[in-house]
Amino acid sequence: MLRLKILASVVPLAVAAVFARAELLPGPRPCIEVGGATMQIASISWLAQLHVGFTDDPGLATVRVQIADSAEAADFTVIDDIDDAEAGACESNAVPQLIGISGNPSASDPVIYLSHDGPSDYRVFVQSKTFSARDAAALIVSARGEHRRLESASLAPRAPSAARVLAELTLR
């Protein structure tokens, strides 16, 4: 009976420790350092300060990211050929800003269309054991920021509002 009581008191503590740490097995997660700030893909999406979503429909996207064929053609390149994460990589005194990849992004979250061809806002090249193209796209879009979802345009002619939207887009 005493063993059962001890087990019953230890299990909730172990579960609480896992949730407080937010991961079962610590391991390297994709991260970049931008201007002294560290941005890292969150292990659990709901812990993240920033969220991005992905879509297969270019019409729903707020940001288009092209997967480049070479490092020279890319705006953001990730190349590693190591088995383990480098000690001290992405470590800074500041707490990393966590980026969550959301299955259902909110209206204010950037929605990324990832493709191999077509027009793009950013181009990424990834040859890595720890980064995927989705991770790289999420990090570069989050680091750049300011990609909000635009409202669908009406087919009715409304020149003043169209001019206002154009002016807002050119100011950014």
Q: What residues does each domain of the chain span?
A: 28-150
Q: What is the per-residue pLDDT across 139-159, written as a single tens digit (0 to 9) for each?
A: 989 888 755 544 443 334 434
CB 71 within 8 A of CB 77: yes
Whole-structure pTM value: 0.65
Distance between CA atoms of residues 114 and 124, nearest Å: 10
Q: Is the pLDDT of residue 20 over 80?
A: no
For residue 115, pLDDT over 90 is answered with yes
End-to-end CA distance of the chain: 67
Beta strands in 28-157 (DSSP E): 31-34, 37-41, 50-55, 63-67, 76-79, 97-102, 111-115, 122-127
